[in-house]
Amino acid sequence: MKSKWSLVILFVLALGGRLHFRTFAFGSNSSETQGTELKVLSYNVRLFDRYNSNRAESLKTKNNILNFIDKKSPDVACFQEFYHQDAPTSFVTKDTIIEIMHSKEYHERYAHKLSGRQNFGVALFSKFPIISKGNVNFESQLGNHNFCIFADIVKNKDTFRVYNAHLQSIKFEKVDYAVFDTEKINDNEQSSNAINLIRKVKNAYPIRAKQAELVQQHMEECPYNIIVCGDFNDTPLSYAYNQFASNLTDAYRNTSKGLGSTYAGGIPVGRIDYIFHSKSLGSKDFSIQKEALSDHYAIDCTVFVKDTE
């Protein structure tokens, strides 16, 4: 069975051709003269582990994530799969991040669940003033729990539009991870699981593609320098990635070396979380979180205005 998977992998590599160079980074920190800087963090926090059946472990994970954010001290923080429960609650998230950021400047969008005053969605926090904000409207059939929000943020005399996008998930379940465990299931089960996994990938791909197009169309009307953060649920070989890479700079490829991996789950999908920025901006100091506190690793970097003086 392992040899079959090896042939599949080789076929995919051959099919992708030079596109596979997108998965590698050969960048380095910029030596350009730098103007206004923003330290940007993007993180799919998987609801801060809110639904872990072990309450103590859930609270521990949440606190570890919040401590990590505090240590990183970003100027702008974008979260996907964000969870917030209206007060009163012992599972505080949003208010703690407001304290960490020392600012009440934020933007959020949720799929509300009336029971328990719970909110699920995306959120963006800024240490600097937000002068306007809004949403990129995904049609209802393009993912009921996927959103893209934006905020126009002013630091010094520079305005940045920051997008926080969470594109359609493949919706992996426990059985899907079994495809990669050749020792615990037989060939028939593995083939069946693989077919189901391929079906999920096939169904999600066109939805993400359309969502990426909608964000790209929205960016075309933007008068400011752009930063795009988010969980795209897609690799650098994808159409969704190309919608952004064709007009923006991938900060990881611009500043780092190697493959990089942002998904911490059981399937080796590599880099699916990104920070892009306008080509007129520079970037440096890209880092990927080392400790897995979610099924994604946080990513962060510094984006700056290129000083032309």
Helix/strand/coil percent split, the chain, to 5: 35, 35, 30
Looking at the chain, the whole-number percentage of residues with pLDDT higher than 70 is 76
Higher pLDDT, 40 or 193: 40
The arithmetic mean of pLDDT across residues 74-103, rounded, is 97
Kindly report the number of other CB atoms within 10 A of residue 27's CB atom.
17
Looking at the chain, the whole-number percentage of residues with pLDDT higher than 90 is 67
pLDDT at 252 over 80: yes
Q: Within the chain, how many helices (H) and strands (E) appear?
A: 7, 14
Q: Could you give the CA distance from residue 41 to residue 230 in angstroms, rounded to a whole number?
A: 10
Burial class (CB in 10 A: 0-12, 13-18, 19+), 296: buried
Residue 229's pLDDT is 98
Lowest mean pLDDT among 16-30, 132-146, 258-272: 16-30
pTM of this prediction? 0.85
- Domains of the chain, earliest start first: 21-306 (3.60.10.10)
Residue 22's pLDDT is 55
Mean of all residue pLDDT scores within the chain: 85
Instruction: Give per-residue burial for 158-176: e unless 16+ CB within 10 Å, then b.
Output: bbbbbbbbbbbbbebeeeb
The three-class DSSP label of residue 261 is coil
The arithmetic mean of pLDDT across residues 102-126, rounded, is 91
Residues 98/104, Cβ–Cβ less than 8 Å: yes
Lowest mean pLDDT among 80-84, 120-124, 192-196, 227-231: 192-196
Structure tokens at 32: 């350009």
185: pLDDT confidence band, cut at 50, 70 and 90? low
